[in-house]
C-alpha cells in the first residue's frame, strides 16, 4: 500500500477514542485524526480529504447524523462508519438515511471493528469482494424470489445487500420490517430499510443511486418485468433506471408475476432451501400472515422450476441485462 489511509475519528468520550486508536495502532496502514466535537469534525471534513470517516452519534455541537450528511455531501464515495450505544432501529435507520455506510453498536470488539474497517476501506485486501444487490417491491419479495440464491452466494463470500423499496400497505403494525431483519440475517445478507423511501419515489431513486455508486454491485436482482403488483412494478422501474452501470440485471418471480415471465437462468438452491424456508417463516412468526410468503409455496416453486435444472430445487430468473 502506498501511504496510510487517512481516518477521521469523531468521539467525545476520550476512553472510547483511545480504544479505537488502540484497535488501529497495530495496523500501520491507518493514520488517525481525532476530533472531540461535531463542529470541529465538520471543519475537518470540508478542509481535508479522508479515506474513512468514523463517528459517534451523540456529540457536542453537530451530532453524528448531521455529520454523516455533511460527509456524504462533500465526499460522496467516502465510507462512513457509525459507532453508537443506541440499539433502537429508528436511530440506525436515521443514520443510514443520512449516508452511513455501516454501523457498529458499542461496546466494540477489536476483531469485529477491524474486519468492518478493512471491509469498508479495502485495506489489506487483494481484490474486492463481489457484490449482489437484491431489490424488492415490499418486504419478503427478495426472500421468496431469490433467497436461496442469495444464501448460496453469501456462503461463497459474496457481499449481499437487500433493499425493499415500497411499504406493504397491508402491514399496519410494521411487523414485516422487523421480520425482514431476521430473515436477512438468516440468508447471510444485510438489509437497508429507508423509511422515507418506502413512501416517496424521489427518495427511492436517490437511495438506489447512492447504493449502486457505493457498492458497485456486479449483479442486481429485481422483480420480473411482468408484474401485476404496483409496488413490484415500481421496484422494477426504479431499479432498472438506477442501475445503468451494473453489468447484470436479473428478474425473479413473485406471487404476482404474470404469464410473460420467461426465465432463462436457473440456480440450483437445494442445499439452501431449508434456510430460505426458515427466513420466510420469520414473517409468520412476527405475525405477518401473507400467503405469498408461505414456505410451502417456495418449495413448490423450487420443484416446479427444477425440471429445467436436472430436476433439482431451483430458483428461476429472466436476464434483463448481461449474461
- Domain span at residue 29 reads 5-121
Residues 151 and 276 in one domain: yes
Contact in structure between 71 and 78 (CB atoms under 8 Å): yes
Q: What is the pLDDT of residue 203?
A: 93
What's the CATH number where 308 sits? 3.40.50.10320
Establish if 195 belongs to a structural domain.
yes
pLDDT at 170 over 90: no
281 and 137, same domain (yes or no):
yes
Question: Phi and psi for 52 in degrees, rounded to 5?
Answer: -155, 135
- Average of per-residue pLDDT across 112-135: 81
Domain match, 174 and 84 both: no
Can you tell me the mean pLDDT for 114-133?
78
Q: What is the pLDDT of residues 178-214, one digit of tens each?
A: 999 999 999 999 999 998 899 999 999 999 999 998 8
Domain boundary residue among 121, 146, 178?
121
Which pairing describes strands 52-55 and 131-136: parallel, antiparallel, or unpaired? unpaired
Q: Are 33 and 6 in contact (CB under 8 A)?
A: yes
Do 176 and 304 share a structural domain? Answer: yes
> In the structure grid, which three cell numbers stand for residue 159, read together?
457481499
The domain that contains 82 carries what CATH number? 3.40.50.2300
220/233 Cα distance (integer angstroms): 16
Number of domains in the chain: 2
Q: Are residues 27 and 155 part of one domain? A: no
* Position 49 in a domain: yes
Q: How far apart are CA 102 and CA 96, in angstroms?
A: 7
Do 114 and 149 fall into the same domain? no
Question: What pLDDT is recorded for position 1?
Answer: 38
- How many CB atoms neighbour CB 261 within 10 A? 17
Query: Do 145 and 283 fall into the same domain?
Result: yes
Residue after which a domain boundary falls, among 83, 103, 121: 121
- Nearest-CA neighbor of 102 among 118, 21, 110? 118
| Alpha carbons 276 and 235: distance in angstroms, whole number | 22
Answer yes or no: is 126 within a domain.
no
3-state secondary structure 184-248: HHHCCCEECCCCCHHHCHHHHHHHHHHHHHHHCCCEEEEECCCECCHHHHHHHHHHHHHCCCCCE
Query: Where among 98, 121, 144 does a domain terminate?
Result: 121
Angle between helices 141-155 and 295-305 (to 10 degrees): 70
Residues 79 and 210 in one domain: no
pLDDT at 13: 93
pLDDT score for 2: 43
User: pLDDT tens digit string along 298-323?
Assistant: 999 999 999 988 889 999 999 999 87
pLDDT tens readout for residues 277-302: 999 999 999 988 899 999 999 999 99
89 & 221 share domain: no
Q: Which of 252, 267, 274 is nearest to 310 (CA)?
A: 267
> What CA–CA distance (Å, rounded) separates 178 from 7?
33
What are residue 191's DSSP bridge partners? 162
Query: Is there a single domain that holds both residue 89 and residue 237?
Result: no
State mean pLDDT over 47-57. Answer: 93
Q: Are residues 42 and 135 in the same domain?
A: no
For 7, the 3-state DSSP assignment is: strand
Separation of alpha carbons 205 and 201, rounded Å? 6
pLDDT for res 121? 86
Instruction: Check residue 124 and give its pLDDT.
Output: 58
Residues in contact with 16: Cβ distance below 8 Å, sequence separation at least 6, in sequence order: 56, 83, 106
**What is the tens place of the pLDDT at every residue in 64-92?**
999 999 998 888 778 999 999 998 888 88
210 plus 284 within the same structural domain = yes
Q: Which long-range contacts (CB under 8 A, 24 or more apart) does 257-262 make?
A: 257/223, 257/224, 257/226, 257/227, 257/228, 258/224, 258/226, 258/227, 258/228, 259/226, 260/225, 260/226, 261/224, 261/225, 261/226, 261/316, 261/318, 262/318
- Residue 100 domain flag: yes
Amino acid at each position: 500500500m502506498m501511504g496510510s489511509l487517512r481516518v477521521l475519528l469523531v468521539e467525545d468520550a476520550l476512553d472510547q477514542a483511545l480504544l479505537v486508536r488502540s484497535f488501529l495502532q497495530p495496523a500501520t496502514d491507518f493514520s488517525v485524526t481525532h476530533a472531540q466535537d461535531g463542529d470541529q469534525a465538520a471543519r475537518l471534513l470540508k478542509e481535508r480529504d479522508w479515506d474513512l470517516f468514523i463517528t459517534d452519534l451523540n456529540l457536542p455541537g453537530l451530532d453524528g447524523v448531521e455529520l454523516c450528511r455533511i460527509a456524504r455531501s462533500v465526499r460522496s464515495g467516502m465510507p462512513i462508519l457509525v459507532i453508537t450505544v443506541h440499539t433502537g432501529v429508528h436511530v440506525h435507520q436515521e443514520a443510514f438515511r443520512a449516508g452511513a455506510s455501516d454501523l457498529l453498536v458499542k461496546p466494540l470488539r477489536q476483531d469485529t471493528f477491524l474486519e468492518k474497517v478493512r471491509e469498508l476501506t479495502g485495506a489489506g485486501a487483494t481484490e474486492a469482494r463481489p457484490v449482489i444487490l437484491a431489490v424488492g417491491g415490499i418486504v419478503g419479495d427478495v426472500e421468496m424470489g431469490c433467497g436461496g440464491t442469495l444464501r448460496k452466494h453469501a456462503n461463497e463470500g459474496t457481499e449481499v445487500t437487500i433493499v425493499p423499496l415500497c411499504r406493504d400497505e397491508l402491514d399496519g403494525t410494521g411487523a414485516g420490517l422487523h421480520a425482514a431483519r431476521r430473515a436477512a440475517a438468516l440468508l447471510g445478507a444485510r438489509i437497508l430499510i429507508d423509511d422515507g423511501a418506502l413512501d416517496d419515489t424521489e427518495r427511492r431513486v436517490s437511495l438506489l443511486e447512492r447504493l449502486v455508486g457505493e457498492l458497485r454491485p456486479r449483479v442486481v436482482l429485481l422483480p420480473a418485468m411482468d408484474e401485476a403488483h404496483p409496488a413490484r412494478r415500481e421496484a422494477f422501474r426504479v431499479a432498472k433506471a438506477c442501475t445503468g452501470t451494473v453489468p447484470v440485471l436479473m428478474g425473479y418471480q413473485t406471487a404476482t408475476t404474470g404469464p410473460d415471465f420467461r426465465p432463462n437462468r436457473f440456480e440450483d438452491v437445494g442445499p439452501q432451501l431449508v434456510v430460505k424456508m426458515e427466513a420466510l417463516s420469520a414473517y409468520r412468526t412476527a405475525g405477518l400472515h401473507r400467503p405469498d410468503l408461505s414456505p410451502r409455496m417456495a418449495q413448490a416453486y423450487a420443484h416446479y422450476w427444477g425440471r429445467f435444472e436436472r430436476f433439482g430445487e431451483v430458483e428461476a430468473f429472466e436476464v434483463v441485462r448481461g449474461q
